[in-house]
Amino acid sequence: MSELLEFHGPGEGKIKEVRVKPGTYLSVGKIILLYQQEGKEIVHKFKSGKVGKVEEIFVKSDEDLKPGAKILKISGGCSHPTIMKDMCAECGADLKNEEGFKDTQASVSMVHSIPELKVSMPRQPVWARKIKKDC
C-alpha cells in the first residue's frame, strides 16, 4: 500500500534541503525537508506525520514549494516487530494509545531479565544469534 505525502504549509516557499532519499525509513516527526517561506528568512522544517519507507521523491532542493504539492511516496507502515515497554523500537510509536496493540507481531520475550523487550517471530533468530555472539 503506497501513500503520497503532500505539503500543507502556510504559504508558498522554496525548498532549501531534502533530508531523505529513496529507501529511507520514516517515523513520525522525522524531518523530510527544510524550506523557506517567500519573503521571510526563517527556515522551517517539514516533518513526517506518517510511518513508512520512502519509495519516490517528487521534489528537489531549490525548487518552489506550494501548498498541495506532492513531496514523496511512502509504502508500508510499521508492524512493530520490536517492542520495549509499550513503545516500538523501530518507529517510536507509543503503542498504549494505538488500536490493535495486542495484535502486534512482537510476542517473544527475548531476555529473561528484561521481560518488556519483545520481538516478532521472524526477528527472534536474528536477536538470538546476536545475544549468543555477545555473551
**Shared domain check, 14 and 47:** yes
Report the distance separating Cα 106 and Cα 18, nearest Å: 33
What is the reported pLDDT for 127? Answer: 63
Q: What is the pTM of this model?
A: 0.65
**Shared domain check, 60 and 11:** yes
Please say if the pLDDT value at position 9 is more than 90. Answer: no
**Shared domain check, 8 and 71:** yes
Please say if the pLDDT value at position 24 is more than 70. Answer: yes
Of the candidates 123, 56, 55, 60, which has an alpha carbon nearest to the alpha carbon of residue 88? 123
**Shared domain check, 95 and 46:** no
What tens digit of pLDDT does each residue of 74-115 get? Answer: 988 777 778 888 888 777 778 777 665 555 566 667 677 777
User: What's the domain range around 88?
Assistant: 82-134
Contact 106, 90 (CB under 8 A): no
Q: State the CATH number of the domain containing residue 63.
A: 2.40.50.100
**Shared domain check, 63 and 29:** yes
**Shared domain check, 48 and 71:** yes
What is the reported pLDDT for 46? Answer: 93
**Shared domain check, 86 and 115:** yes
Give 18's pLDDT tier (boundaries 50, 70, 90): very high
The order of strands in the sheet holding 64-65 is 43-47, 31-37, 13-18, 64-65
Give 61's pLDDT tier (boundaries 50, 70, 90): very high
Show which of 75, 97, 115 is a domain's final residue.
75
Give how far Cα 36 sits from Cα of 15, 22, 129, Å.
Answer: 6, 23, 47
